[in-house]
Amino acid sequence: MSEGRILIIDDAKGPGGSLEMALRMDFESVKSFSNPNLLPFYLKTEKADVAILDVDFSGVREGEERGLYWLREIKRINPRIEVVILLNEDDVMLGDRAIEEGAANFAFKPVNTRKLVASLRSVVQLKLMKERCELIESRFDGIKKELLQTEPVIQGSSVPYNRMMHALAGVIDTPDVILLQGETGSGKKSVARYIHSQSSRRNELFLEANSLLERETELGGYLFGVKKRNYPTADPDLPGKFQIAEGGTLYIPEVAKIPLSVQEQFLRYMERNTVEPVGAVRAVPVNVKLLLGTAEDLRSLVNEGAFHEELYRRLSSRAIEIPALRHRVEDIEEIANFFIGQFSAKYHKGPLRMSARTLEELKLNPWPGNISELKLTIEKAVILCEKDVLRPEDFMFRSAAQSQLFKIPDTIEEMEKSMIKKALERHKMNHSAAATQLGITRQTLYNKIRKYKL
């Protein structure tokens, strides 16, 4: 039995009754309807994939062409229902008109059930495929909105932020290779994702190639692929990241740390849109939006002979500067509030807000680790906070005057251990009360006590 809910619209004079019986063996739901006066209401309430409409169905208004009136009504009332028209053999021209008006197909009377079933199956499958594509697209739109909400670097109103966004608008759909320059933690990967999400490639793959994880001798194959012929240990025609990202966006962080021999391939791609797999006798064409990230001063590396001069020259005209957080102080409140909301939900805290003194401290801190450091600092503060207001003490500030941070634990595990210890001390080792405060079960608390040897 095939998927599909079929609605037969026919009056008593047509083939509806016998057709309904014939189709019940092939589709999950088959219903007939014969009252033209109630059809508009029925179409609004009945769920159907395909309507089979007899061209001679009654109730046509004066001046309306038979068959097409009810086709238009169906499409007006419920445009998601596909329509197959049943015609007389001399109504070929009307069938063509029906297709132009939005019918999915037509069939001639007397009905050939086998052919009609095949046609209905095709119409149903096409409709379901369209709906699945729409669902995927809507999910993608949701993901894109979520992405923009969860990438705090793409939030702000400061002059450096607006300057960056203006520069991004000019490169989103260009074929150029783009260099993203910014200090560690400033949000280069987030900007790369933003470029992809706003581009015409948004429905294709966004791929990050972390070349620092690969040995130098294997980096060429990792990025550009491997041909089996000269490398018997490799799979046949093993694709590299360029080939995998075909049609989409490829982001390569820390381009400054890539060997000069591999940098040559980037030049080849910029010139010819080709790369040469390891072991190949000829280059292969690829089509990706290539984004390169760096936290280094490439000009200095060129002077030291550690970066390809021609590559630098070409990239320098296509560079986007990601401002350091200390240069966009006006954006700190918005970014911090975003992280506070995110981590309040993650750690089952109630609504939290910053005190005015806390915000002042956050704005005065230099943030050498930029947004990444701010994110970690706020996460730790949310974990430690026991009230509904984040105070400087939660951030371990020395004082408002000093505007310096104490050395804080390096990991969330250390903060979790501290939080559990404080809860146990506060409730005098009452595990039930401590677990309730922490928002976890007693068993989870026991497991963490053993883990941290408390």
For domain 151-323, give the CATH number: 3.40.50.300
What pLDDT is recorded for position 62? Answer: 56
pLDDT at position 227: 77
Q: Write down the pLDDT at residue 434.
A: 84
pLDDT recorded at residue 432: 85
Looking at residues 219-235, what average pLDDT do you find?
70
Over 80: is that where the pLDDT of 418 sits? no
DSSP codes of every residue in 276-303: --BT-SS-EE---EEEEEE-S-HHHHHH
Question: For the purposes of burial, counting CB atoms within 10 Å of the CB of 394, is it exposed (0-12), middle (13-18) or buried (19 or more)?
Answer: buried
Please state, rounded to an integer, the average pLDDT across all residues of the chain.
Answer: 83
DSSP string covering 383-416, please?
A: HH--SSEE-GGGGTBS-TTT--BPP--SSHHHHH
pLDDT: which is higher, 398 or 202: 202
pTM: 0.57
Q: What is the pLDDT of residues 263-295, one digit of tens each?
A: 989 999 999 999 988 888 888 899 999 999 999
3-class secondary structure, 42: helix
Three-point CA angle 284, 288, 290, nearest 5°:
115
Q: How confident is the model at residue 299 (pLDDT cuts 50, 70, 90)?
A: very high
SS3 state of residue 430? coil
Name the CATH superfamily, with its identifier, for domain 2-130: Response regulator (3.40.50.2300)
Q: Which residues are within 8 A (CB) of 1 and not within 5 positions of it... i.e. 6 or more apart?
A: 25, 26, 27, 28
Q: Say which DSSP state 8 is in.
A: E
**What would the mean pLDDT of 344-359 be, rounded to a whole number?**
90
Name the more confident of 266 and 59.
266
pLDDT at site 195: 93
Q: What is the pLDDT of residues 71-96, one digit of tens each?
A: 998 999 988 899 999 988 888 888 88
pLDDT at 408: 45
Fold agreement between 151-323 and 326-452 = no
Closest alpha carbon to 191 in 323, 312, 368: 323
Query: Which of the four pLDDT bands, split at 50, 70 and 90, describes residue 34?
Result: confident
pLDDT confidence bin for 45, thresholds 50/70/90 = confident
Alpha-carbon distance of 288 to 202, in angstroms, equals 12
Which of these CATH numbers, 2.60.40.10, 3.30.930.10, 2.60.120.380, 1.10.8.60, describes 326-452? 1.10.8.60
Contact 117, 86 (CB under 8 A): no
Q: Which of 446, 141, 185 is nearest to 325 (CA)?
A: 185
For the four alpha carbons of 302, 178, 318 and 265, in that order, the dihedral sign comes to: positive
Partners of 8 in the β-ladder: 32, 52
Higher pLDDT pick, 282 / 297? 297
Closest by CA to 249, choosing from 312, 207, 212, 277, is 207
Residue 246 pLDDT class (50, 70, 90 cuts) = very high
The pLDDT of residue 140: 56
Provide the pLDDT confidence category of residue 440 given band limits of 50, 70 and 90.
confident
List, in order, residues 6 or more apart from 279 with CB less than 8 Å away.
Answer: 226, 227, 228, 229, 230, 231, 234
First to last CA, the chain: 62
Which of 16-25, 234-243, 333-342, 398-407 comes out lowest in average pLDDT? 398-407
Q: To the nearest whole percent, how much of the chain has pLDDT over 90?
A: 35
Which residues contact residue 280 at a Cβ distance below 8 angstroms, ignoring those fewer than 6 apart?
Answer: 225, 227
Model pLDDT, residue 235: 45
Q: Which range, of 34-43, 119-128, 256-265, 362-371, averages the lowest pLDDT?
A: 34-43
Q: Characterize the bridge pairing of strands 284-285 and 274-275.
A: antiparallel
Tokens 């007693």 belong to 442
Q: Where are the alpha helices (DSSP H) in 304-368?
A: 309-316, 332-346, 356-364
Q: What pLDDT score was predicted for residue 357?
A: 92
Q: What pLDDT sits at residue 214? A: 61
Residue-range domain boundaries for the chain: 2-130, 151-323, 326-452
CA distances from 151 to 18, 192, 236 (A): 60, 11, 38
**Residue 64's pLDDT band (cuts 50, 70, 90):** low
Total Cβ atoms within 10 A of residue 189: 16
**CA–CA gap between residue 361 and residue 356 (Å, rounded):** 9
pLDDT band at residue 401 using 50, 70 and 90 as cut-offs: very low
What is the rounded CA–CA span in Å between residue 291 and residue 189? 9
Per-residue pLDDT for 365 more than 50?
Answer: yes
pLDDT at 407 over 50: no
CA nearest to 255, candidates 294, 224, 206, 221: 294
